[in-house]
């Protein structure tokens, strides 16, 4: 099947799980018993993350990993850091696996889109959870689901920072591209061929720009060979979320958002409504 034979190409992120009512945010993890159990092992990386969360009442673990690598961890022997990072990954998997998929909110916006709005989706799933697999099984859906960042059920996740992140050169293990579980998928190429594209609960964060930058830049210049107008639909959560996503697109298009709106049918909608 080619991209155009699917009803749409769908990209899902953590906002998808959150809209389903699953407690999958970093804040949920940091405040969980699972994470607290890890703190009892004297894991200094996790102690740092806990302190940052308490200082800010919010945390982006991926950005804190950059800070920890660059500034906080001073020892020339990086093996301790690597072991603590691996323990963090295992703990995150354990926490996510403890969530009950049967409690997903079947009245949520994303559940309706996945089960009723569009048939035969090609899905790039950036989540670690089994929420999509559960929904597809329960509703006998024929969507094709590709796991971009691994699977918590298998304790194999792609978790870390982008390739051009400023980190200590000895901490290459933090880079997502070095993960053995990183399935090499040419998302840019698929999106270039697709006519209908939906970003559902996905924030287009900086650590994943390499998956989408070529696509958005080409779309802003109308650089696709067939010159077709694409239908690009992007969800967001409240006004701040909308502008955060537009900021990411602005960066990937070298400040050419207007080019995307000129050459394609570009729309956004609020999952909070």
Q: What DSSP string runs through 166-177?
A: ---GGGGGGBGG
What pLDDT, on the 0 to 100 scale, is given for residue 183?
Answer: 67
Same domain, 42 and 7: no
Specify the number of domains making up the chain.
2
Residues 54 and 143 in one domain: no
End-to-end Cα separation, the chain, in angstroms: 34
Do both 60 and 136 map to the same domain? no
pLDDT at 57: 86
Q: How far apart are CA 150 and CA 170, in angstroms?
A: 24
Task: Kindly state whether residues 128 and 235 are assigned to the same domain.
Answer: yes
- Structural domain including 218 reads 3-23+103-148+185-270
Q: Which residues of 61-78 are buried (b: 16+ CB within 10 A; e: fewer)?
A: bbebbbebbeeebeeeeb
Q: Are residues 88 and 46 in the same domain?
A: yes
Considering the domain boundaries, does residue 263 fall inside one? yes
Q: Are residues 9 and 61 in the same domain?
A: no
The token duo for 22 is: 């699953």
Q: What CATH number should be reported for the domain holding residue 137?
A: 3.40.50
Provide the residue-wise pLDDT of the chain in tens; the chain has 273 residues.
555 678 899 999 999 999 999 999 999 999 999 999 999 999 999 999 999 999 988 899 999 999 999 999 999 999 999 999 999 999 999 999 999 999 999 999 999 999 988 888 999 999 999 999 999 999 999 999 999 999 999 999 999 999 889 999 999 999 988 887 666 678 988 998 899 999 999 999 988 998 999 999 999 998 775 567 899 999 999 999 999 999 999 999 999 999 999 999 999 999 998
Contact between residue 115 and residue 179 where contact means Cβ atoms under 8 Å apart? no
State the pLDDT at residue 184: 62
The answer as to whether 73 is a domain residue is yes
Query: What does the pLDDT read at residue 2?
Result: 57
pLDDT at 4: 63
Residue 71 lies in a domain: yes
262 with 197, same domain: the answer is yes
Is 10 found in the same domain as 36? no
Backbone φ and ψ for 95, nearest 5 degrees, come out as: -65, -50
Whether 171 is in a domain gets the answer no
Whether residues 79 and 196 fall in one domain: no
Q: Are strands 150-151 and 156-157 parallel, antiparallel or unpaired?
A: antiparallel
Supply the DSSP symbol for 161: B
Residues 77 and 134 in one domain: no
């Amino acid at each position: 099947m080619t991209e155009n034979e699917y009803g749409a190409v769908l990209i899902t992120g953590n906002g998808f799980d959150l809209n389903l009512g699953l407690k999958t945010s970093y804040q949920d993890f940091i405040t969980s018993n699972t994470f607290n159990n890890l703190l009892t092992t004297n894991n200094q990386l996790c102690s740092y993350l806990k302190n940052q969360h308490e200082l800010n009442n919010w945390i982006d673990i991926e950005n804190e990993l950059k800070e920890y690598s660059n500034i906080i961890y001073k020892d020339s022997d990086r093996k301790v850091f690597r072991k603590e990072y691996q323990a963090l990954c295992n703990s995150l998997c354990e926490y996510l696996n403890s969530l009950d998929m049967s409690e997903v909110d079947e009245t949520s916006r994303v559940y309706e889109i996945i089960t009723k709005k569009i048939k035969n989706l090609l899905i790039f799933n950036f989540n670690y959870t089994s929420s999509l697999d559960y929904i597809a099984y329960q509703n006998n859906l024929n969507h094709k689901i590709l796991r971009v960042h691994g699977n918590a059920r298998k304790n194999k996740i792609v978790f870390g920072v982008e390739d051009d992140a400023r980190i200590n050169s000895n901490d290459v293990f933090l880079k997502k591209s070095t993960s053995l579980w990183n399935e090499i998928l040419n998302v840019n190429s698929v999106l270039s061929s697709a006519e209908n594209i939906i970003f559902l609960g996905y924030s287009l964060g900086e650590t994943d720009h390499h998956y989408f930058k070529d696509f958005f830049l080409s779309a802003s210049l109308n650089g696709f060979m067939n010159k077709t107008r694409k239908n690009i639909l992007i969800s967001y959560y409240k006004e701040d979320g909308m502008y955060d996503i537009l900021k990411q697109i602005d960066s990937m298009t070298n400040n050419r958002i207007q080019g995307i709106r000129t050459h394609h049918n570009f729309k956004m909608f609020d999952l909070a409504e």
